[in-house]
Structure 1
Amino acid sequence: MEKLSLDAQVRELLKLAAASSTGRSAHTVYGGHEHVLRQTLIVLTAGTVLAEHENPGEATLLVLRGRIVLVSGETSWEGRSGDFLVGPKARHSVEALEDAAVLLTVAKHG
């Protein structure tokens, strides 16, 4: 069994993101490329955009802090602390409307 504090990790990643020219920081908290399931903590400073990308499989975003907008084509969904968003099966992008932290969970298709 392993236990970690997502709150503590968010605080550390926010410091790294604020100091980074990209305005973001991430850490895989479970799984990885050799696993079907991967959970990654992603922190974005206000105004930072994760450029449009493909969905690598089934994916969800749990907003832990702040506000984001998930955009796919002409459709967008806003998420704030406590919101759970199911990733679209199409190309999409994510923008932080304010400093934000999300837990991205991905189950890759074989």
Structure 2
Amino acid sequence: MPTESLTELVQQHLETASTASSGRSAHTIYGGHENVLRQTLIALRAGSSLDEHESPGEATLQVLHGRITLVAGQDRWNGSPGDLIPIPDSRHALEAVDDSVVLLTVGMREA
């Protein structure tokens, strides 16, 4: 079974996000469309965001680096390294306060 270093991926994707026009970089670590479980590392440059979107299933964010804010309507949750934040089952957005990296874990809904 192949393994990946989250520490190395954090540094790699922070560098990529720092020069990307979108201010972000992402890499699926585990799973995909054929799996129920999907884990994706997402790096965001300070001040960038993921616009409001629906959750495809039950999900959590683990903050690996930096500081983020998860926003759902009027609710806001702040996260820093080591925090695990359940993602609400509603439209939400993610904002990077600092250069940040999160691990998104999603249990996909069946079609």
- Which TM bucket (shorter chain)? over 0.9
Deviations 1:66-103 (A, max 9, x none): 00000000000000000000000000000000000000
In 2, the alpha carbon distance for the partners of 1:67 and 1:9 equals 17
Q: For residues 29 and 76 of structure 2, what CA distance do their matches in structure 1 show?
A: 27
Corresponding position of 1:53: 53
Equivalent-residue separation in structure 2 for 1:100 and 1:51 (angstroms): 16
Question: What is the aligned partner in structure 1 of residue 33 from structure 2?
Answer: 33
Instruction: Give the TM-score normalised by the residue count of structure 1.
Output: 0.98
For structure 2, the residue ranges without an aligned partner over 5 or more in a row are: none
Tell me by how many angstroms 1:15 deviates.
1.0
Instruction: Give the alignment's Cα RMSD to 1 decimal.
Output: 0.6
Q: 4+ runs of 1 displaced by more than 3 Å?
A: none
Indicate yes or no: 2:17 matched with 1:17.
yes
Letter in 2 for 1:28: T
Task: Report the identity percentage.
Answer: 55
TM-score by length of 2: 0.97
Q: How many residues align?
A: 110
Structure-2 residue corresponding to 1:100: 100
